[in-house]
Amino acid sequence: MSNGIFTLPIPKNEPISQYGANTEEREALQAQLKDYRSEVIDIPMYIDGKDVRTDNFGESRCPHDHQHLLAKFHKATTQNIHDAIDTALAARKKWAALPWENRAAVFLRAAELITTTYRYKINAATMLTQSKNAFQAEIDSVCEFADFLRFNVKYMEEIYTEQPPENSPGCWNRVEYRGLEGFVLAITPFNFTAIAGNLPSCAAMMGNVVVWKPSDTQVYSAKVIIDIFKEAGLPDGVINVVYGVDQEISDIAGTHPELAGVHFTGSTNVFRSFYKLIGDNISTYKSYPRIVGETGGKDFIVAHPSFDDIDALSTALVRGSFEFQGQKCSAASRAYIPKSLWPQLKAKMGEQLATIKVGPTEDFSNFVNAVIDKRAFDKISGFIDKAKASDEAEIIFGGSYDDSKGYFIDPTVVLCSNPHFTTMVDEIFGPVLSVYVYEDDQFEETLKLVDTSTQYALTGSIMSKCRYGVQTALEALEHSAGNFYINDKCTGAVVGQQPFGGSRASGTNDKAGSKANLQRWVSTRTIKEVLVPATEYTYPFLG
C-alpha cells in the first residue's frame, strides 16, 4: 500500500562522454566494439517475458562493412503478432493498477543502467548496427535515451498532480489519469536508439501495455534496450517485441478492436497509411485510437544578409547537414543564402569539407560513416545522379559514392538555380545539402519560398544579426517548423530543453520529450464526490 505523496528526483541532462584519445572511456568502448565484432549472436523476439524463436531469420550487418554479419534475428509469424497482443492485454490490468511510483522506479533504474552498466554496450551496438560515430552514438543511445526516461517520469508526476482548482461547498473534485483501454502499437525507426526506446517506454510508464516493432536495421541495439528493461524489472507482458514484419503488423495490430493507440516515428507515407487504415476501420475499435507520429522532413537554414559570420554559418551547414550522414529527421537539407555571402561561404565550406574523413565507425577519426543500407544508398545516390544530369543543378562538393565495402556517400553540396529542383524539395535522408542563392533584396520573398516549396514542417533555422530579420522570419515561417532555431543549426534538440516534433507532413507535433506527449497516453476520469448528499429536490425560490 502506498501512503505518501511521492516526489521524484529533479532530472538533469546526462553529461556527454567525449571519448578522447588515450582515455579510459575510449578504451572501454573500443573493447566493447571488438567484443561485439567477435561473434554472431542470435536475437529472439520478446513476448510475455520469454525469448521467442521462429528460425525464419533476418540479418543484422554493419552498414560500413556490409559483409560482416553481427546477428541473426527471428522474424515474427502472424501467430507471434497475435500472441504479443494477447499477452499485452492480459498484462494490462495488473500493470495499470501498480502504484505509479513503482512504474517510475522501473524506468529510473533503466536510465541508471544505460549510463553505467550498459553505457558501452548500447553505444557500441548503435555504432555497429546504425553506423554512428562514437559521439553521435553517445548523445543518442546513452544521453538522450536516459534523458527521455528521467524527464518523462517527472512529467508523469506533474500530470498526476494536476487536479481541479475549485470545489463547491460540500464537494471534492478530483481527476485520475488512467492508461488507455487496450494496447499501444509502437513503430520505431533505425536512426535513433533513443527514439526506439522512448516510444514504447513513455506509453508503458503511463500504465499502458505495448507491442513494439523496431526497424529491422536497428534490431541489434533494440535487443540491448530489451535487456536493459528486463534488468530494470519491467514485468512480463508490458512491452512485447516482434521483428521482421511490416504489412502483417498493420493488418493484424492495426485493425485489432483493442488497438488503443499508435506511437510512430518513420516515413510520411507509412504513417499516412496507418492513419488511413485506422480511419477505414474506425467502427472496429473499442475506443478511438490515439495516433501520434513524427515523420519526414525537408529542413532548412536561411541566412539573412546581415549574417557575416562565415565561420559560424558554414559550421551550422556542415554539422547540420552531414552529422550522422544526414540521417536525422532534423538534418539540414536545403539552404537559402544571400548572394553577397555566397562566395565567402562557398570557400569556407570547401575548407571544412576537405578535412572530413569518411569511413567505418571504429576509426574514431571518421566524421562521416555509412548510410544505413542498400536501399538508402541507392535512393540517395539516385538524387546525386539527377543533380549531375540536370542543367538546373551543379554539384560543387562531394558527389562520390561507393558501396563495395560499406554504404559510403561523400558529403555532397548541390547548388540549384531552380528553387523547386527535386533535391530542394524532396526528402533525401542522406548527406546531401542543396543550396539556393537569392538576391539580397529578396529576403521576404525567399521566406515565402521556404514556407511553400515543400510539404514538411519539422525543423528550420534563421541565421541573422538583424533582429528585424529574425522577427520577419519568425512570422513568415510560423508554421514551417515545429522546432525553430535562431543562429544555430537545425538539429540537436535536447530533452527537457527543446521538445521535438513538427506538423504538416512531418507529423502530429505531439512533442517527444515533453509532458504533452505523455498526456496522449492517458485517459482521464473526473470524479465528483458529494460529502453530504442533497435530500430535497425543490429550489429555494419555489418556497
Per-residue pLDDT tens digits for 40-49:
999 999 999 9
- Options 3.40.50.180, 3.10.20.30, 3.40.605.10, 2.60.40.10; CATH for 24-295+507-527 is 3.40.605.10
Count Cβ atoms below 10 Å from residue 373 Cβ, excluding itself.
18
Annotated catalytic residue 529? no
Residue 287 CB neighbours (<10 A): 14
Rounded-to-integer distance, Cα 315 and Cα 303, Å: 13
Residues 199-232: pLDDT tens digits?
A: 999 999 999 999 999 999 999 999 999 999 999 9
The model's pLDDT over 169-206, given as tens digits with 9 standing for 90+, comes to 999 999 999 999 999 999 999 999 999 999 999 999 99
pLDDT of residue 317: 98
The pLDDT of 246-256, averaged and rounded, is 96
503 in Cβ contact with 482 (< 8 Å): yes
Residue with cell 495499470: 96
Beta-strand relationship, 183-187 and 259-265 = parallel
Distance (Å, rounded) from C-alpha 321 to C-alpha 298? 11
Q: Considering the chain, tell me which residue range(s) the CATH 3.40.309.10 domain(s) occupy.
A: 299-486
Q: How confident is the model at residue 540 (pLDDT cuts 50, 70, 90)?
A: confident
Identify whether the C-beta of residue 484 lies closer than 8 Å to the C-beta of residue 503.
Answer: no
Q: What is the mean pLDDT of residues 534-541?
A: 87
Domain with CATH 3.40.605.10 in the chain: 24-295+507-527
**Pairing relationship of beta strands 459-463 and 299-303 according to DSSP bridges:** parallel
Joined together, the cell numbers standing for residue 49 give 517475458
Res. 1 pLDDT band, cuts 50 70 90: low
Which residue from 101, 117, 128 is spatially nearest to 41, judged by alpha carbons? 128
Using CA atoms, how far apart are residues 140 and 142, in angstroms rounded to an integer? 6
CATH of domain 299-486: 3.40.309.10
Mean pLDDT of the chain: 97
**pLDDT exceeds 90 at position 101:** yes
pLDDT tens figures, 436-479 = 999 999 999 999 999 999 999 999 999 999 999 999 999 999 99
Average pLDDT over residues 285-299: 98
Q: How far is CA 423 from CA 300, 381, 436, 515, in A?
A: 12, 12, 11, 36
Read off the pLDDT of residues 376-427 as tens digits, 9 standing for 90 and up. 999 999 999 999 999 999 999 999 999 999 999 999 999 999 999 999 999 9
DSSP secondary structure string for all residues of 482-525? SEEEESS-S----TTTS-B--EETTB----BTSHHHHHTTEEEE
pLDDT at 51 over 80: yes
Catalytic residue (choose from 138, 144, 294, 323)? 294
pLDDT of residue 116: 98
320-345: pLDDT as tens digits? 999 999 999 999 999 999 999 999 99
Is residue 429 scored above 70 in pLDDT? yes
Q: Which of 329, 362, 416, 427 is catalytic?
A: 329
- Residues with Cβ within 8 Å of residue 541, at least 6 apart in sequence: none
C-alpha cell at 152: 518523462
Q: How many angstroms separate the CA atoms of 473 and 466, rounded?
A: 11
Q: Could you confirm whether 202 is annotated as catalytic?
A: no
Q: Which three cell numbers stand for residue 144?
A: 538522450
Whether 369 contacts 361, CB under 8 Å: yes
Confidence band (pLDDT; 50, 70, 90) for 543? low
Determine the Cα–Cα distance for residues 293 and 326; give it in Å rounded to an integer.
Answer: 20
Q: Residue type at 490?
A: C
pTM for this prediction = 0.97
